Amino acid sequence: MTLDRSGSRIDHLNLAVPSLTEAVAFYEPVLAAIGITKMLEIPPNATPNQPTAMTGFGLADVKPYFWLIDGGVVGTNMHVAFTVDTRADVDTFYEAALSAGATSLLKPAVHPEYHDDYYGAFVLDLHGINLEAVCHHPGQA
């Protein structure tokens, strides 16, 4: 039985970071490497319930779904995984992250402990967040 691993019920995710400027400088090239772009910048106090600046990333012409929020504290054991279409995209993400200053946690590889076709790479961003790119499709022969 093949499972459909394409969907998610998460509409958007906010990550609080100590420095929005540093985080955007890191995430912009790393996410661009897998087709996710900066879409929206919201200044502080744009609404009564939003006192700090925010930057949203997403797929072009869709909507921002990954948000960085300024002036926050990163939680412990924070992990964010981005689904990509190919194993080459995982490799590209990993190299872009290292070039942007990330620390390697796990090089791109198959992780059969999750499932037979789970190909992922893990890095720590500049604020200690565990980032991953994962492809759930079989590799090319």
The pLDDT tens digits for 60-84 are 888 999 999 999 999 889 999 999 9
Q: Where are the domains of the chain?
A: 13-135
Instruction: Tell which wins on pLDDT, 28 or 6.
Output: 28
3-class SS shares of the chain: helix, strand, coil, % to 5: 20, 35, 45
Alpha-carbon distance of 122 to 132, in angstroms, equals 4
Lowest-pLDDT choice from 1-10, 50-59, 65-74:
1-10
119 close to 135: Cβ distance less than 8 angstroms: yes
At residue 13 the predicted structure's pLDDT band, cuts being 50, 70 and 90, is very high
Give the architecture-level CATH label for domain 13-135. Answer: Roll (3.10)
3-state secondary structure at position 110: strand
Answer yes or no: is pLDDT of 2 > 80: no
The pLDDT tens digits for 77-113 are 999 999 999 999 999 999 999 999 999 999 999 999 9
3-state secondary structure at position 124: strand
Of 76, 91, 81, 103, the closest CA to residue 139 belongs to 91
